[in-house]
Amino acid sequence: KPQAASQPSANSADRFQLLERMGDGAFSVVYKAYDRQLQSHVAIKVARKFQMKSSQRSSIYKEVSIMRSLHHDNVVSLLDFRESNDYFYLIMDLVPGGELFNRIVELTYFSEPLARHVILQVAEAIRYLHNERGVVHRDIKPENILFDPIAYIPDPTFVSSSSNRGKKDEGIFIEGVGGGGIGRVRLADFGLSKVVWNEPTLTPCGTVGYTAPEIVNDQKYSTGVDMWALGCVLYTMLCGFPPFYDEDVQILTQKVACGYYTFLSPWWDPISDSAKDLISHLLTVSPRDRYSIDEFLAHPWCQARLSTDMEG
């Protein structure tokens, strides 16, 4: 259990000026807020304790303890955690662009360079979680992928002249590629996440020792759920609809179980074979054969970023 709030928590309500609702869940509401103590805008996930089962309370503590251990540019960071008699407060960095989901709806679908710009950042977050923290997110989807709408801002000190011909103005912030208005991408919502390394294997290169193969294998497979989800997100970005869909939940479940999806014409006709090849290695039923995050990042479609960034 994480440390309890260090100050009397009855003041929590005075500390925050709630500004607007940004998202709803079954037991929590996320607000944009002004934090008078931190003197900045933040996002607060407020969870009402009333009628919460003890298992739901402990899952909040789990979410907090996992988020506390995470420090990465592409992962939403937890700034503080408070609890009052009636509420839990998770105070997070505000990610002002909102959900990737809404951006897909607005643009219908993403160009390959824009999809690459986004998915590589999600993949960097996953690489950090899987390889450095032993954490499986387990709820990767466009609603839980948030972004900063940082437009390309040219470096004011950069002077184009004959002496630096051919050099590129690198700008100050992350460049939004492909006109999507998406700069930095950050993974949110660790409510379902899980630490899959047990204590003795907490170091990635540590000896497995006396651990049985099925345990080792299970740890390896459980990271696979994020890779499957990553494939679903990439698919959806490129064409605007998800790989698996049916109004009937039973049929949908069957399609997922046997990995039945297609690159539907005409939507997929202009999309590169390389992108399709990458997706097919993620939407692979057997987790044994599915790409790991390292295999994903090594694929030519991901490696093509340097050449295409120059064009777009």
CA of residue 187 relative to chain centroid, distance? 3
Judged by CB under 6 A, does residue 309 bind ligand ADP?
no
CB of 33 to ligand ADP, least distance (A): 10
| Using rule CB under 6 A, residue 146 touches ligand ADP | yes
Q: Which is nearer to ligand ADP, 25 or 200 (CB)?
A: 25
Q: Quote the Cα angle for 199-202-207, to 5°.
A: 95
Alpha carbon distance 220, 262 (integer Å): 27
Instruction: Closer to ligand ADP by CB, 94 or 256: give it.
Output: 94
Q: Work out how close the CB of 80 gets to ligand ADP at its nearest, in angstroms, rounded to a whole number.
A: 13
- Give the pair of three-digit tokens for residue 14: 């005075």
| Residue 129 touches which of Mg ion, ligand ADP, none (Cβ within 5-8 Å per kind) | none
* Binder of ligand ADP out of 22, 150, 239, 293 (CB under 6 A): 22
Q: Which is nearer to ligand ADP, 232 or 283 (CB)?
A: 232
Q: Considering CB distances under 5 to 8 angstroms, the limit depending on partner class, which of ligand ADP, Mg ion, none binds residue 238?
A: none
Q: Which two tokens stand for residue 311?
A: 């064009």
The position carrying tokens 């039945």 is: 260
Of the candidate residues 91, 94, 185, 239, the single one contacting ligand ADP (CB under 6 A): 94
Q: Is residue 45 marked as binding?
A: yes
Query: What radius of gyration do the chain's Cα atoms show?
Result: 21
Catalytic hit among 14, 73, 139, 269: 139
Tell me which of 121, 144, 201, 223 binds Mg ion, using CB under 5 A.
144
| Residues forming the site for Mg ion (CB under 5 A) | 144, 189
Residues in the annotated binding site for ATP: 45, 143-144, 189
Residue set of the binding site: 45, 143-144, 189
